[in-house]
Amino acid sequence: MKVILELFGASRDLSDKDFLEFNIEKKISIKDFKKKIITYVDENFKGNKNYKKIIETSSFCSQDNNIISENYNITKDQKIGIIPPIGGG
């Protein structure tokens, strides 16, 4: 299945587009999907620790804009958004 990861905020540094595309063979939880994104960072950004931290601390949302937990299973082609924390003063 094809999963489109829509990038928001600081996660946009992961691509020159506003998304990343992943081919996933079977259903996958958000927790395990995060591991795939971290593998992408390892392979494409030499394991950039800042990018990894963004992934580890981000929330994810479904294509209907609902926040989803790490136990949520992706079972079909769909878009998932990554929403990094926003710092401020």
Residue 79 within a domain: yes
Distance between CA atoms of residues 15 and 13, nearest Å: 6
Residue 4 within a domain: no
Residue 46 within a domain: yes
Q: From first to last of the 89 residues of the chain, give the pLDDT tens digit.
A: 999 999 999 999 999 999 999 999 999 999 999 999 999 999 999 999 999 999 999 999 999 999 999 999 999 999 999 999 886 54
Residue 2 within a domain: no
As for how many domains the chain has, the answer is 1
Residue 59 lies in domain:
27-89
In the chain, the DSSP E strands lie at 2-7, 19-23, 28-29, 59-61, 67-68, 73-74, 78-83
